[in-house]
Amino acid sequence: MTLSIPDFSKTNVVVAGDVMLDQYLFGATSRISPEAPVPVVHVQQTDDRPGGAANVAVNLASLGVKTRLIGAVGDDAAASTLESLLQAQGIDCSFACVNDRPTITKTRVQSRGQQLIRLDQENAAELRDKALVDAVGEAAVGAGAVILSDYGKGALTDVRGMIELCREAGVPVLVDPKGRDFEKYRGATLLTPNQGEFEAVAGHCVGDEELATRGWQMVEELDLTALLVTRSEKGMMLLETGNEPLFLSTQAREVYDVTGAGDTVIATLAGALASGQSLASAAALANIAAGLVVRKIGVATVTPGEIQVALHQRGQGGRGLVSRDELLVFMGEARARNERIVMTNGCFDILHAGHVAYLEEAKSLGDRLIVAVNDDDSVRRLKGESRPINALEDRMLVLAGLAAVDWVVPFSDDTPAALIAAVLPDVLVKGGDYQPDQIAGGKEVLENGGEVRVLSFRDGHSTSRIIDKLSG
């Protein structure tokens, strides 16, 4: 299966479920309390983080997905803190305020790398608030996908009603289930239990064949489109109606912390599906994202750039059209492999044989070639209002198709000096009759120990000549 990173920024996903505030208190311990045989923690640092369904929303926002979060909070300071944290990440919060129950808060006291105690503030009674169901139904209209994140804390009491409204809106609804009553999720597009949660409902499975057999039974009995079972070090199993079972091996190279990995999986799945990816491709991307997030300490997220780097390491996602930030991630990985980085730039309005020869020669100077491309506005400033002939995206796509080119990145300034200074390639290449000290970014590259090379263009080839010929 060939994978690619979708443009998550063009998608919107709704998350509904049990929102929480995770509070961390960090401090030193040096004595036992005289009042009781417990350590005394001198709190030196506090950290507030969105948890539960709110962490799913944060994972979506990290991918660049437009995200709306629906849940219930109390009339308290924790609700204000949680909403502020989420809004800072561009998440649209639609919270029902319930006066007789607190915002779910989990406070962890940690010292010397150990969690000493966890204090939970919650009222997990069923929350029969029609406003939550109506909010999901309203938000589902026009959404790319809906995630129902169930932690068993009451917000999804009427989860079946939410699923029905999503189905009426024609929107895929993905459920992260809780407990042993999966009947309430009937009609969902996809369930994402881990293997322990699945076997608690379906029974213990010996081997992949039995796992798939019991999984198909669940798909049929619950009128699902698909089932994704996450299997820790064994990867994932995807069962999709009409297709053969898909077993995905884990992509984790090191595992430091599995906390929140399920949130990353369902967020990536939903974002990819909403972007038009097939379920199989979305699951494969989610599997890669999970392998990345478990390498991080604590509840964490991944970015499209990190996923793209992982794809590149697998020989997929290849020569990508990348942003500046994504390119810098690639550079860190390439340098860790001791690869020699070559960089050049230009408008590349109409690609011709001269360009191809030039880029092939540039690539021969190192292991990886970056081509920085003027955006449309900067081309107009440099070449006049009649240029460019081809829009930025088209120019970048053509360049990315060349065997010599590894990464194509746009820039909006008149020169790529700032971008070059950020990348600091081993070799900076420019075509023409420039002197090295006249080339934008050349000074910074030389000062960093790199080199600047001037290559000749092939005679008889130019964009201007092509335009003149077409004009008659």
Q: Annotated active-site positions, please?
A: 263
d(CA 130, CA 356): 62
Tokens (6 digits) for 105: 């808060």
Catalogue the long-range contacts made by 392-395 (C-beta closer than 8 Å, 24 or more residues apart).
393/321, 395/347, 395/348, 395/349, 395/351
Integer Cα distance of 50 and 21 in angstroms? 5
Percent of the chain as helix, strand, coil, to the nearest 5: 40, 25, 35
Give the SS3 label for residue 371: strand
Quote the distance between the C-alpha of residue 431 and its chain's center: 37
Q: Rounded distance, CA 64 to CA 332, Å?
A: 22
Q: Taking CA 57 as the corner, what is the angle to CA 312 and CA 236, rounded to the nearest 5 degrees?
A: 50
Residue 84's identity, in one-letter code, is S
- Pairing type for strands 66-73 and 145-149 reads unpaired
d(CA 150, CA 161): 14
Residue 202's alpha-carbon distances to 93, 177, 180, 213, 374, in angstroms, are: 35, 13, 9, 10, 57
**CA-atom Rg of the chain in angstroms:** 26
